[in-house]
Amino acid sequence: MENEYILKIQNLKKYFETPYGTVRAVDDISLKVRKGTTMGLVGESGSGKSTTGHVVVGLFPPTSGKIFFKNKDISVPLEKRPKELKRDIQMVFQDPASSLNPKKIIRDIVGLPLKVHKMVQTKEELEEKVAKLLEMVELPPEDFMYRRPVDIGGGEKQAVSIARAIATNPSFVIFDEPTSALDVSIQAKIINSILNIQREFKLTSLFITHDLSLMRNISSEVTIMYLGKVCEIAPTDVFFQKPLHPYTQMLLSSVPVLTKEEEELKPKGIKSIGEIGSPIHPPSGCRFHPRCPYAKEICKKKEPRLIEVEPGHFVACHLYAEK
């Protein structure tokens, strides 16, 4: 059964030293991603969702904690990671404009990972493969192959980044807010390409976003983070029917919606108040307590543990503490 999980994160911490103090970007989180599923990682700025993605892909070494990928410990610095691992885990970044080399043509951008991992021998083979990849993200190869990133639109650039990410046939892809810089009509296109690719390649992915409505449509499980901590983990359906953590409820109630059916899903009786705390000096105890309408004495002192309230549904809140 344990093999079912392709990625396991255990007690991961990532701190950054700054002149103002230590930023506890990710502070002791654990989560598991099942093979072939999409885990949605949701949080606001400073929650540590992007840092988590960056540590998994190897951009930063973890401060402490373990990351297991296919049952192998990968919590080592990037240069010590086997090359095969770099082929197997890929990432799509938020801002396509700054993640594509403006001087290169699309063929070379998408073809680079193929060359690095020696997956093609000849130039013809390369072009053929790149053309296939571009088709997969619905960019006609004859139009795009020889253009540069500056000549194409934002949505098309993001499609190129996706083509590059899947070029090496990875089994795990991290999407870091891939559509937050795009218009809704373009977002819809990109999300559809991602869904198709996930289906076709049987990809496992970590989808980082702040948009709950989008997450609802793309992921099978959800992890909610707040100031470097995990608040709640649940299967997507359960999550929307029964959000448990007060922060999750506040987040859900803050989403502006378009229809009456959606309005019914929003938790009533909770209003967004207060400011997101500082990750340098996070609030004591439960980090959400200064904004929580249900905060008790214990919340200020003791940090709640993540407990399983029903199968697969975890929450870190004293309201649900073991009785």
Partner 1 sequence: MNKDILLEVKNLHVGYKTHMGISQVLQGVHLTVRKGERIGVIGESGSGKTTTMKSILKILPSNGMIKEGEILYQGRNILEMKQEELLELRRKKISMIFQDPTSALNPLFKVGQLMLDIIKYSYNLEETEAKEMALKALRDAALPDPERVFDSYPFQLSGGMRQRVCIALALIGDRELIIADEPTTNLDVTIKAQVLNLLTKLVRERNVGWIFVSQALGAVRENVDRVYVMYAGNIIEWGQTEKVFSNPLHPYTQKLLECVPKLTGTEFSKGIRGRVPNYFNPPSGCRFHPRCDFVMDECKKTFPEPVEVETGHFVACNLYRRR
List residues near partner 1 by CB under 8 A: 44-45, 153, 183-189, 191-192, 210-214, 216-217, 236, 240, 250-259, 261-262, 265-266, 271-273, 275-276
Looking at the Cβ atoms of 94 and 171, the one nearer to partner 1 is: 94
Looking at the Cβ atoms of 44 and 127, the one nearer to partner 1 is: 44
CA distance linking residue 250 with residue 232, whole number of Å:
13
Minimum Å gap between C-beta 193 and partner 1 is 9
Looking at the Cβ atoms of 45 and 71, the one nearer to partner 1 is: 45
Minimum Å gap between C-beta 183 and partner 1 is 4
Minimum Å gap between C-beta 150 and partner 1 is 15
Q: In what order do the strands lie in the sheet with 221-226?
A: 89-92, 172-176, 204-209, 38-42, 221-226, 229-235, 313-315, 307-310
Looking at the Cβ atoms of 183 and 200, the one nearer to partner 1 is: 183
Minimum Å gap between C-beta 25 and partner 1 is 16
Minimum Å gap between C-beta 17 and partner 1 is 21
In eight-state DSSP terms, residue 304 is: P
Looking at the Cβ atoms of 77 and 153, the one nearer to partner 1 is: 153
Looking at the Cβ atoms of 71 and 217, the one nearer to partner 1 is: 217
What CA–CA distances, in Å, run from 24 to 8, 191, 201, 288, 319? 21, 31, 35, 15, 25
Contacts with 268 (C-beta within 8 Å, 6 or more apart), sequence order:
253
Q: Quick check: 92 and 161 in contact, CB under 8 A?
A: yes
Q: How many CB atoms lie within 10 A of CB 85?
A: 18
Minimum Å gap between C-beta 94 and partner 1 is 14
Helix residue ranges, H only, the chain: 49-57, 83-88, 96-99, 106-116, 123-136, 141-144, 154-166, 184-201, 212-218, 236-241, 246-253, 260-265, 297-301
In eight-state DSSP terms, residue 178 is: T
Cα 162 off chain centre by:
14
Looking at the Cβ atoms of 49 and 318, the one nearer to partner 1 is: 49
Minimum Å gap between C-beta 301 and partner 1 is 24
